[in-house]
Structure 1
Amino acid sequence: MSDISVNTDATKCVRARAKKPRLFYLDWIRAIAAILIVVTHFNNPYLEPTRFFVNRPFGIYIGGLGVSLFLIISGAALMYNYGDRESLDLRTFYTKRAKTLYPMFWVAFIVANILLFIRNNGYIFVPRHKITAIFSLFGMDGYASAFGVGTFYTLGEWFLGFIILFYIVFPLLRVGVNKMPIATVCIVLALYVVTVAFFMFYQIPRVPSDILLTTRLPELVFGMIFVKFIKKVPSWLAAVSFVILAAQQLTHILKDNIAVTIVGIFAFLLLSYIGELVKSFKPLSACTKFISAYSYPIFLVHHVLIMQVFTVIYPVWLNRWQAYGLLIAEFVVILVLSVILKRFTNLIVGFVSKYLVKSSSKNSVESAVRNRSDNSSTNRSLD
């Protein structure tokens, strides 16, 4: 049996297979990464003048750390759910990924643009080339915008487009990790070294090296390798991770993309170990699972909200405690909006699905009646 198949009986087996239990450490790290991303965009107006919040932990941009953790858990989560299957039904996989990403993105995009249209007195930015709306349709507008392409980008950041690229190549990476893990790691590292080395000596205008697929493959594949082979962080590895992170915090010896990759991986290992220690603490566990469950809508709404708040509240007006209070207040509002967005999206998807099923059933009945009528006419003509 081939490892990847488009149409197999595996679909039936998947439905019959018991659902895997959630891994707490993935929820734990996902929740931390979501908070880091929110703090990143809240931080921006504070970077130099006030320094209310840490902006470069371990010598890397705090947003870079959050993204790195997100990428690692993305690789780990997909490998956990799909890695041990004999085959991967590509149509089912891509359909499920699309249903997970697109409906909520489209709803958030439309609602955000309506609100911004009202907020800006009827003005909304329109790029020079209207055809770039196709990037928004497929969730790639933020990613394309990062390369200097004029788009209708409103929310989702470049990260959403990058995750879509990862979903596209995941089946191939899955085969590599399952069948040839050592060779796959070597190829990924070779691509990474070539990319990083190239951008050390050359700069291509409007091509940010840190969002290229080859630059982030080590984090994605590490997550896949971890969940398949390592599974649990032993105490000695947690200690090593702590020492490496502490050394980097004190010396900043690693720089740029290399620092992000190394810090992200060892932060993941240390946080995984801590997650196993704290998961029995019920209040923390409940908060972790809640934030993790709403991490995608948080990711979609947070930046738009934060930027709108900063059009009303000028950062330099705030002292330290006011800034902390504003961050907490914004995070609460972000959570509320995330819950509303998720439920509203589910409501719309449910309504559309019901309508399509009803329409399909009606067409099937009409087709059956038409066929029966045609058969009767044929029989009468034969008589």
Structure 2
Amino acid sequence: MSNRIQELDVLRVLAMFFVITYHFGCEYAAAGLPFINLFCTTSNYDFGNIAVTIFIALSGGLLYKRYGVIGCEERCPTQPGITNDAPKNTNKFEQIKTFYVKRAKAIYPPFWILSLYIPLSMIRHLVTDGNAFFLGNPVSLLLTVIGFDGYVKLFGVSTYAFCGDWFVGAIVMLYLLYPLLAKCYRNFPVVTLIVLAGLYASQFLLPAEHDGILSALPATLMFKFVIGFALIENLERFKDWRVAAVAGGSFAVLTFVDIPGRLNTDAIGTFASFALFAALFYLAPQLLRFKATSVPIQKLATLSYCVFLVQHVGIVWVQGAFVKIFEKMHWSFTQWNVLALFTCTLVIIVLVAWILKLVSDKLVQKR
């Protein structure tokens, strides 16, 4: 993408880190191993929420910066800071088609490569117990093809989901809705944000048993996605130290002051995410001043989607390997060696994500 905003790479890498720390802590706690609450949970929110919120907002904002409104018969006008990359002199259908093809090439190849594990697992079950469709209706494999297997699994649908959790389906849904959301926001920005905020807030009227899926509901996702449009349009405001100070203070309060009630289901984490966004965007240039930090950040940022795909299953598999090694060596798990195992897990996930992206890019270029 032209005119890359390097400060946003810092936020992208941070989101990657948080989703790994969150799932690492959850899996080790669930296994009864020493629990390292390192960027995992607070009394008000969890860092998985922070990671997904930042990533969704960045995805929406950067799409809006690149494409603006898609589907205009003529090249749509843009606002300051928004670069419209929609092809000139193309009709509405061609613009939308080009957009969706580009999004599909970015999302599906790495997801499908990892999902090859599913047919391999089906073959193994066919050989061992004579039942290839060990997880139920084979029609649900269609949900894997379109990336919605993990998303619908949240709602009790039996699927063959393997990687990406529910995030892939969520981002596919938002990309499908992007042309409509961008047009609404461009024409009626305040009204669009108010309507989406109202839909988001209305979800807290649902019974408490639905709290576990609140962060994945369509209204929540659309609200965070379109907030990303507004963030991109107002990046210059975040260069003010006073804005950063207020944002940093707000993040500290939301993190360390226990706020009771259902708002900590998703709302506090959402507010904390945007406060962290504003504070870190102001501080990011200081990190990028040094080559020792700027180069790794820029390289890691390109792996963000692949990291989101592999991180959870990677944590589970690496944890299983560590448990077998410790049992064989008669070692005990402690908080200190679990911290070392976290570092090893982080390196392995990044390495696998890099290989996945390399293979995926090669296949796309060849195609």
> Structure 2 length as normaliser, TM-score?
0.82
AA aligned opposite 2:221? R
1:126 aligned residue (126, 134, 141): 134
Q: State how far apart, in whole Å, the 1-side matches of 2:43 and 2:245 are.
A: 16
CA distance in 2, matches of 1:110, 1:22: 33
Q: Which moved more, 1:114-123 or 1:145-154?
A: 114-123
Match of 2:22 among 35, 40, 47: 40
Residue of structure 1 aligned with 2:10, choices 25, 28, 31: 28
Identify which of 160, 169, 175 aligns with 1:167.
175
In the TM superposition, residue 217 of structure 1 has moved relative to its aligned partner by: 2.7
Are 1:208 and 2:213 counterparts? yes
Contact 2:109/2:360 (8 A) holds in 1: yes
Q: Give the corresponding residue for 1:248.
A: 254
**The one of 271, 284, 299 aligned to 1:262:** 271
* Equivalent in 285, 288, 297 of residue 279 of structure 1: 288
SS in 2 for 1:149: coil
Rg larger for: 1
SS in 2 for 1:157: coil
Residues in 2 aligned to 1:134 and 1:115: alpha-carbon distance in whole angstroms: 16
Q: Which letter maps to 1:69?
A: I
Match among 330, 334, 339 for residue 319 of structure 1: 334
Instruction: Give the C-alpha shift of residue 156 in structure 1.
Output: 1.0
Structure 1 residues 147, 278: CA separation in 2 closer, same or farther (over 3 Å shift)? same
CA contact (8 A) 1:219 1:265 kept: no
Instruction: Answer yes or no: is 1:66 the counterpart of 2:51.
Output: yes
Residue 117 of structure 1 deviates from its aligned partner by 6.9
User: Structure 1 residue 285: deviation in Å?
Assistant: 0.9
Q: Deviations over 1:121-159 (max 9, x none)?
A: 967773221101110000110001111101110001101
1:80-102 C-alpha deviation (Å, 9 max, x unpaired): 11127744511111111011111
> Which amino acid is 2:57 matched to?
I
Task: Give the superposition deviation at 1:41.
Answer: 1.7
Which position in structure 1 is the counterpart of 2:83? none
Once the two structures are TM-superposed, the CA of residue 119 in structure 1 deviates from its matched residue by: 11
| 1:221 is aligned to 2:230 | no
- Residues 81, 317 of structure 1: alpha-carbon distance in 2 compared, 3 angstrom cutoff: farther
Indicate the larger mover: 117-126 or 37-46: 117-126
- CA 1:60 to 1:120, structure 2 compared with 1: closer, same or farther past 3 Å? farther
The CA deviation string for residues 167-187 of structure 1, in whole angstroms up to 9 with x for no partner, is 011111111222211111111
Q: Which residue number in structure 2 is paired with residue 371 of structure 1?
A: none
**Contact 1:64/1:260 (8 A) holds in 2:** yes
> For the Cα contact (< 8 Å) 1:173–1:221, is it kept in 2?
yes
Answer yes or no: is the 8 Å Cα contact 1:210–1:216 preserved in 2: yes
- Listed one character per residue, the Cα deviations across residues 301-339 of structure 1 (whole Å, up to 9, x for unaligned) are 222222112223239932222112211112222222122
**How many angstroms apart in 2 are the aligned matches of 1:36 and 1:125?**
35
What count of residue pairs does the alignment treat as equivalent?
331
Match of residue 145 from structure 2: 137
RMSD: 2.7
Shift of 1:58: 6.4
Give yes or no for the alignment of 1:93 onto 2:93. Answer: no
Stretches of structure 1 that go unaligned for 5 or more consecutive residues are 1-18, 354-383
2:318 aligns with 309
Name the residue aligned to 1:195: 203
How many Å separate the matches in 2 of 1:20 and 1:237? 27
Q: Could you tell me which amino acid in structure 1 is paired with residue 50 of structure 2?
A: L
Letter of the structure 1 residue corresponding to residue 186 of structure 2: N
User: Which residue matches 2:79?
Assistant: none
| 1:277-313 deviation digits (Å, cap 9, x = unpaired) | 3211211111111111111121222222221122232
For 2:235 and 2:315, locate their aligned partners in 1 and report how far apart those are by CA, in whole Å: 38
Contact 1:143–1:161, Cα closer than 8 Å, also in 2: yes
